[in-house]
Amino acid sequence: MAEPERNYDEVDEVLLWLAREPDGDPLADLAMLRTNVRRVAASAGQRRRQVLEQFGGRALDICGRFRPRLLAASLPLPREQHAAAGMLAETLLEIVAGIGALTERSDSAPRRAPAGELAALQGLASALLGEGFIVGAMAAAAPPAGLWRAAHALGAADGSFDAVPHGEAGSLPDQALHYRRLLAVAAAQPESFSARELSWLFDYLGMVAGFARLSATVIEPRQLAYWLDPLKDAAPAAFARRPPPDDARLLYASFAELAQQVSERIAWLEARMVDFEVSGAESEVELLVADDSGLPVGLTPTETLSILRRLRDRWAAPPLREQPRRQHQYAVQVCIGLRSMWELGRGRREQGRVVEWLVLNESPGGYAIMSVAGVQGSIAAGIALALRRESSQPWSVCIVRWVRSDNPDQFELGLQIMSQSYTSVQIGFRGSEMRTTVPALSLPVLEAVRRHSAILAPAGTYVSRRFVLVRESEHLYVAQGRALGLDMQTANVELFQYETDPYPI
């Protein structure tokens, strides 16, 4: 006897789609996911939990395939990728909202899922929020509206703060760890990291987020702590930068113990790098693949040390804005990238290297600028950039401290001034694997900032104390310099002070 024909409803069709292999193109898969999430948003009935769990699993799979595309891309992102990053973050938030409606409870309505299922759903929702935040940050975009409010609702409802030793990650539920990771990323100022660094940071915090402290009472000393309002759609704020309101019920966070963990990893890695130099191992990768490293792979040891040092400084003490900013609107000329700046200093033509941007505000130590005619070249936090108001003025050398872009055609950059002028030179370090000199910028003494001349060079150039400096002008100038220590390092450039060595070896 033939089986009666079954009438499939929308939920059945969506479940059949979820059961099939994902599309090879994560963007096509994302488009279908977004369509299906909205298709069954209010019609799943008793199967709502099953559908939401599978939506969450598919969303995490898409994130895992989309994030590597952001790693390989450079800012400004292609319009399709920028739109996809925003769509993915919004879709994740829609799934979280569905989970929230499923797990909510009130005096008249008990929990709609047993405790174990409830914890699993809340852990999934927290993981989705973390992915939504990091994808947006890697695209240099602000988190979608509602993300922080949803994260606070899950984190505050967890109730694990002040109840367990915060360093014992295994004793915390998944949603508590995901929430602490999100808070720690926000406190590290994600707009100041490149996409590769952000992805590495997110993975690293997956290992150590339990050391972030969350409390219902004020954490002392307040100058090193953060406050957050669970009812607001806002990231945690540092006491040192903005006082909390008096009429709100707040939570408090501290990342001092995370900073201590980072300090231990820095000491371990520095010691391993010394051993590496002594042993003559063939590849630096060996330093980071050991079982006892406690560090993700994906960055070179030099890059890893750079990001760990910045994390230690920011988690140990929130950065302060020491100088007032003044609002302005005037056009400036900009040259992006150390190589382009070096070529300008060598007398190369400006066409194709110099573009116009708009100053939004300025302080004695830096600027905030916005693109007004599109973006030429590759943008990333940590690159070098030259700026001047008119062609009769010398170029100011700046480092890009943060990048924001909610529109692929518009960028905002935060700049720190490193020098009011520069000279193009070439340098070569003793002991370097490179047998040729590399382009660099020689910066003069900057009163109240540094007492010696400095070199701005590509990251990884500084490998020993002594180096050779070559400057070509009307006459060839060759000297031996002695580095006085690394002052600053980003993923792209590094700066160190030096003095001319009167006793060359």
pLDDT at 114 over 90: no
Per the CB < 8 A criterion, the answer to whether 215 and 161 are in contact is yes
Count CB-CB contacts under 10 A for residue 342.
24
Percent composition of the chain: helix, strand, coil (DSSP 3-state, to 5): 40, 25, 35
pLDDT at 176 over 60: yes
What is the pLDDT at residue 444? 94
pLDDT of residue 493: 93
pLDDT average, residue stretch 227-252: 91
pLDDT in the model for residue 256: 93
Q: CA 253 to CA 484: how far, in whole Å?
A: 37
Q: Is the pLDDT of residue 338 over 90?
A: yes
CB 254 within 8 A of CB 227: no
pLDDT of residue 423: 95
Q: Which helix (H) or strand (E) holds 253?
A: strand 251-254
% of the chain at pLDDT higher than 90: 53
Res 385: pLDDT: 95
pLDDT in tens, 34-47: 999 988 876 656 68
| End-to-end Cα spacing for the chain | 97
What are the start-end ranges of the H helices in 20-146? 26-39, 48-72, 79-103, 115-138
Contact 317, 310 (CB under 8 A): no
- Count Cα neighbours of 146 within 13 Å in the Cβ-side half-sphere: 10
Q: Looking at the DSSP assignment, which residues form a beta bridge with residue 334?
A: 355, 387
- Mean pLDDT to the nearest integer, 56-72: 93
pTM of the entire structure?
A: 0.86
In one letter, which amino acid is 488?
M
How does residue 163 score in pLDDT terms, banded at 50, 70 and 90? low
Whether omega for the bond prior to residue 76 falls within 30 degrees of 0, making it cis, is yes
Section 207-214 average pLDDT: 91
pLDDT in tens, 17-32: 999 999 989 999 999 9
Q: Give the pair of three-digit tokens for residue 407.
A: 């529109």
How do residues 469-494 score in pLDDT, each as one tens digit?
999 887 888 999 999 988 988 888 99
Q: How far apart are CA 490 and CA 399, in angstroms?
A: 9
Average pLDDT, the chain: 85
Cis amide linkage into residue 319, ω under 30° from 0: no
For the chain, percent of residues with pLDDT exceeding 70: 85
User: Any bridge partners for residue 488, and if so which?
Assistant: 495
* DSSP structural state of residue 140: T
Q: Give the strand pairing for 454-458 and 493-500.
A: antiparallel
Average pLDDT over residues 49-65: 93
Most confident stretch, 3-17, 165-179, 328-342, 463-477: 328-342
Q: Other CB atoms closer than 10 Å to residue 421's CB: what's the count? A: 16
pLDDT tens digits, one per residue of 183-204: 999 999 999 998 999 999 999 9
Q: Would you place residue 373 in the very low, low, confident or very high pLDDT band (cuts 50, 70, 90)?
A: low
Q: What is the reported pLDDT for 108?
A: 38
pLDDT tens-digit map of 126-157: 999 999 999 999 999 989 999 999 999 998 87
d(CA 341, CA 335): 6
* Mean pLDDT along residues 366-392: 87
**Are 250 and 275 contacting, i.e. CB atoms less than 8 angstroms apart?**
no
Lowest mean pLDDT among 98-102, 225-229, 411-415: 98-102
pLDDT tens-digit series, residues 387-420: 999 989 999 999 999 999 888 778 899 999 999 9
Closest CA to 48 of 115, 107, 121, 109: 121
